[in-house]
Amino acid sequence: MFTLPFWSLQSLRRIQSLTSLRSLRGRFITRCVTKINCVTFPLPGEGPEQQLLKPDEWSYCDYFWADKKDPQGATSLPGFEVLLQKQLKGKQMQKEMSEFVHERIKIEEEYAKNLSKLSLSPLAAQEEGTLGEAWTQLKKSLHDEAEVHLKFANKLHTEVEKPLLTFRGDNFKKDLKKYDHHIADLRKQLASRFASVEKARKALADRQKDLDLKTQQLEVKLSNKTEEDIKKARRKSTQAGDDLMRCVDLYNQTQSKWFEEMVTTNMELEKLEVERIEWIQQHLRQYTTLRHETDMFNQSTVEPVDQLLQNVDPSKDRELWVKENKTGDVRPVDMDI
């Protein structure tokens, strides 16, 4: 604990001529700092350059120490709150993606229903021959395609929509609130310690001012104050200095604790965000995989139609129709007289 020395009156006057309250602040509190919302930061260009905790990674733990002002500049949002809002926004985006996939599922189900209904249409059902076979297969392909889209919809629900919707349930927001309350409590403690430092600094200034006044009065004999009064004032000034050092020490301990918790918690939030992005990436890839499979299966339903269309033969159709519907192959001849 720093203690002001028990100076002689002559030494005290000489030191006081060189030591103002501002210089005392410099001795008791770290030099070259600026105070923003009860947090102390180094002044730009002062002191050794700080190194990033995780260089080249753009880590959360390096870029969210200061508070962010809202667009109107009325209030400040702690950097940690910015990260929490990012998490909540990510949760909302994940929910909206699930809703998007759900809408796609509804479209697929409705499409499958309409395809199946159309496949049962009696239109052109009496077409015959190879063309009739191709037409029948084309209608059957609609039914098969409907099955493909219905299966696609079911897989979208189980393999994409549901995982997106259920990833990090209601407990996730509760966990975020725990983080929020923990860091907010540390900031409140920091603000309280900061207020104690300011109070102790003012008390020291008042005690030193009182000591200066008593010393000057004694020198010019404007008062009947004794040297004992000066010693008493000096002891109070020393005690005020001790109190200030104690408050600064408590403040620095609290700020160090806040710093450590910020790094740890920010890294946890960073990990959660990486997990969220990778989870969504995984299931959106599954979406594209299922989509490719749907195209492949749809192609397989069309291939028999293509084959039958290639086999359509007007001559063959004519042959088949004639064989089934002929009424006689003896041609008329001229009448003989």
- Please, are residues 108 and 152 in contact by the beta-carbon 8 Å criterion? yes
Give me the residues of the chain with pLDDT under 70, please: 1-31, 73, 220-226
pLDDT for the residue numbered 29: 40
- Please, are residues 191 and 277 in contact by the beta-carbon 8 Å criterion? no
**Which amino acid is present at 333?**
V
Spatial separation of the C-alpha atoms in residues 128 and 131, rounded to whole Å: 6
- Please, are residues 189 and 251 in contact by the beta-carbon 8 Å criterion? no
Tokens of 53: 């905790």
- Which among 94, 115, 101, 116 is positioned nearest to 153, based on CA atoms? 101
Q: Which phi and psi angles does 227 have, rounded to 5°?
A: -65, -25
85-310: CATH topology: Substrate Binding Domain Of Dnak; Chain:A; Domain 2 (1.20.1270)
pLDDT for the residue numbered 224: 59
Spatial separation of the C-alpha atoms in residues 76 and 54, rounded to whole Å: 26
| Positive or negative torsion for Cα 187, 188, 192, 195 | positive
The residues with which 33 forms a beta bridge, in sequence order, are: 42
- Which among 237, 238, 214 is positioned nearest to 227, based on CA atoms? 214
- Please, are residues 210 and 238 in contact by the beta-carbon 8 Å criterion? no
- For 69, the enclosing helix (H) or strand (E) is strand 68-69
Give SS3 for 33. Answer: strand
- For the chain, what are the domain ranges? 85-310
Residues 6+ apart with CB under 8 A from 83: 60, 64, 266, 269
Give the pLDDT confidence of 82-130 residue by residue, as tens digits.
999 999 999 999 999 999 999 999 999 999 999 999 999 999 999 999 9
Buried b (16+ CB within 10 A) or exposed e, 254-280: bbeebeebbbebbeebbebeeebeeeb
Give the pLDDT confidence of 267-308 residue by residue, as tens digits.
999 999 999 999 999 999 999 999 999 999 989 998 999 999
Tokens of 162: 């549901």
Spatial separation of the C-alpha atoms in residues 169 and 173, rounded to whole Å: 8
Q: Distance between terminal CA atoms of the chain?
A: 150
pLDDT for the residue numbered 227: 75
pLDDT for the residue numbered 19: 34
The residues with which 322 forms a beta bridge, in sequence order, are: none
Q: CA separation (Å) from 273 to 61, 95, 164, 170, 180?
A: 13, 15, 14, 17, 16
Helices (H), the chain: 9-18, 21-28, 60-63, 79-119, 129-156, 162-166, 170-219, 227-310, 314-325
Report which DSSP code applies to 70: -
